[in-house]
Structures are given as structure tokens and as C-alpha cells.
Amino acid sequence: MTSKSSTVCKSLDDWLSYIESQHPSEIELGLERGASVLAKLNIVRPNAKIITVAGTNGKGSTCAMLTQYLCSQGYSVGTYTSPHFIDFNERIAINDQPCEDDLICQAFKAIELARGDIPLTYFEFSTLAALWVFSEANLDYWVLEVGLGGRLDSVNMVDTDVAVVTSIALDHTDWLGDSLEVIAQEKTGIARVGKLLVSGVVNPPASLANTANAIGAILRQKGTDFSYFRSGNVWSWSGNGLLFDGLPIPNLPIENAATVVAVLSYMGLSPTKEALVSLFRHAQLTGRFQKVSSEPLVYIDVAHNPEAATELAKRIADFESAPIAVCGMLKDKDIDNVMAILASRFSSWYFADLEGVRGAKADELYIKLDHSHKQSFPSVAQAYDTAVSKAVEESKAVVVFGSFVTVTDYLEHARHLQHDREKGVPC
């Protein structure tokens, strides 16, 4: 069989354009298609364990901290996350570094040859590519982030050794259900019989434990089997007969850090306080309350739902003065509640249009916020540039947030600004 891909796909960009055209739907949950192809790829599991991470919020930061800890201990690690900000390669990393184009292209070619006439979504192609790359690399651990839900997400094609559920909240209700009980059941569906399931969920719905018990997983829950406590600029963790105190406050959410310690402990890695201190001093992840500039102070955050907005509100509460918001959101998100949580936390709001069918217009956000200092812009770049000028004038910080798309737009703008500076073009 000679496929279109064999003659057209010469680069990663070619492949990405090709796989985007191979399925009529961006999302089609289900494991049958991907599993059929996976069975033909002769995937070899990692030398140690597969860790699969689901949750409404906190998946990315949990995967990042697990990866960075394991790498610091000398293990080889493959990490699969989504979405990406600028380059597709961000999704498939080995030892915390994005894979090269050629390796991903080889994976796509192997998948294309194996799939025959089976239609695959973009995410299914991506997931299979990550598994193929990790198998070829002969790694110790795989850390896999669920894309949507859990039970029917393509990451669940492979049996995990350690399942993690970070949080449960109402999101993607069209796909996952409109109650916390149903969503918890979907996310807990990544667990396996006789295997560890660590839950970082606060006040978990009863369906989480019920589903874990029905599967036969070994459940360890925050608040029951392990706990954490913050005191000023340090925090402590206890569980599994261990106590770690005096830990530094991480750059990433502390509740996810507590879940990470539980995963490491209950899976038998015996983390030391010294190693955890180093992890929490240095762990970072693009777009998660990430400091990107000092003068003026600028942070970027993908916060796009009420739970993430609540975390962002806690972060900026420590600022000397209320910062300036640059906000762009998708119109299918809970804009009203995000605005309600953050309205009083910012001195000024600069709203930006987001492109695409899901992108909200700045004016749609503008009318939802009762605030005396607000303005609309046709792009994140224009909103950001105006906010920075005001921040310099008023000695304030800027926070760019609201969506992965918003952060991506900022990163692309920052790349252009850096390129202009290097060429001596006046900003």
C-alpha cells in the first residue's frame, strides 16, 4: 500500500498537516481504534513503571515534578503531555527534553504503516507516537498525561502501573458528564486491578473510591492516607509512616506537590528530604505561574477555570500591589465564575481576542466584568504591550492568563520581540 503520507510527508510539519486531515473529528473518545493499532506496533514497556496522570487541574505540574524528580535520581524518563504551546515536540519528551523532529517522524511512519484503514484522531496519532518513541528509547519510566477524562482517553490504551488523579471539577461536561460523581468515575477509570491509585482530590466524590474498589485498585487518598500542612514559607507532608517537614514552597501548586510526594512514597521509591527540597526549589513548568520577566515583573498562567483561578488568586495575593491582568479565554469555559473570583485581584484588566472557533472576543469578556479599569484589544500582543507600558509607569506586575491559547500567543509575541531585539529593531 502506498499512502499519501509516504510521498508527501517529508517533515514534521508535513506529518502534522497529514494527521490532522485523517479524522473528521478533533475529539472522539474511545480505545478500540488506537488499541488496534497499538497491538501492531510491538511496543515494549519501560524497565520500571508507567505512571498515568488524570485530573481536571494539576496534571501538567504533577507530570513535571514526577519527571524532574525521577531524572534527578538518575532514571531515564519519557513524558507525554498536551497540549503544546509552540512546537509539537513539547508533547513528547525524553529526560525532560523535547524529542527531535526525525524521531517523531519515524514514529508517525510506523503508525501509518500499522494502521491500514483505521481512522485515528490527531490525539490518537500523538499518543501512539509517544509510546513508540518511548519504547524505542528503552526507558525506565513513562509519565503519561491524560488528555480528556481518563477511562476512554487514548492514553488509557496502555495498562498503567501507577494511576494518579490530581483533582475533580466540572469541566468538559459535554464529554465527561455534568456531575462531579460522573466525572470522578471517568477519571478513575485509568486505574488497574492490583495497582496503585493515588488521589490528590480534596473532598472526593464517593464515586472515586467506589470505582477504585470496583476495579480492584490499591487506593491512597489525600486527607485519609496522607496529608500536608503549610506554615509560612515552608510546608510538611506526612503519610505512609513518613514525615517530611521544612519543605520549601514550590513554584508549582503545593497541593500537586503533596500528591507527587505520595506517588513517590507509595510506589516504593523512598524519597529523601534532601531530594524533595531540591525538587521543590527548582521544579518548573511553562505557563504555570511562570515568571518570564523581572522588569517589569511578568507572570504567565494557563488558568482557565474556577479552580485554577482560585489558585491564581492565592498566588497574586502576596504581591505588594494589585497587578495588571492580560486576559484571553475560550468561550466554552466558565468565564463568569473566573471573572467573579479574580475581579478584585487586579488593578486593571486588558482583554484580548483569541482566534479560532472557540476563542472569545475581548468585548465578550469586557461586558462580563464590573470593573472601572478595563479595555479590549484585538490580540494578546497588543493587550500585553499596553499592559507593560502601564506596569512600568505604575511599578506594577503583569499577569497574562486565561487559556493555553493566551499563553501561546504571549510566547509567540515574546519570541518576536526577542528576535527584534537581537536584530537591533526598536521595540
Q: Does domain 290-422 have CATH number 3.90.190.20?
A: yes
For residue 298, which of 400, 375, 145 has the smallest C-alpha distance?
400
Superfamily of domain 4-282: Mur-like, catalytic domain (3.40.1190.10)
Dihedral sign from CA coordinates of 371, 372, 374, 375 = positive
Domain residue ranges in the chain: 4-282, 290-422
Give the pLDDT confidence of 200-225 residue by residue, as tens digits: 999 999 999 999 999 999 999 999 99
Lowest pLDDT segment from 26-35, 96-105, 294-303, 412-421:
26-35
Q: Which of 369, 367, 353, 366 is nearest to 403 (CA)?
A: 353
The kind and range of the H/E element at 93 are strand 92-94
Instruction: Quote the CA–CA distance of 354 and 259 in Å, as a whole number.
Output: 33
Give the model's pLDDT for residue 24. Answer: 60
pLDDT (tens digit, 9 = 90+) per residue, 307-343? Answer: 999 999 999 998 999 999 999 999 989 999 999 999 9
Pairing of strands 162-165, 49-54: parallel
- Does 3 have pLDDT greater than 70? no
Mind listing the pLDDT tens digit for each residue in 101-133? 999 999 999 999 999 989 999 999 999 999 999
Beta-sheet strands, E only, within 249-344: 290-294, 297-301, 324-327
Q: What is the pTM of this model?
A: 0.90
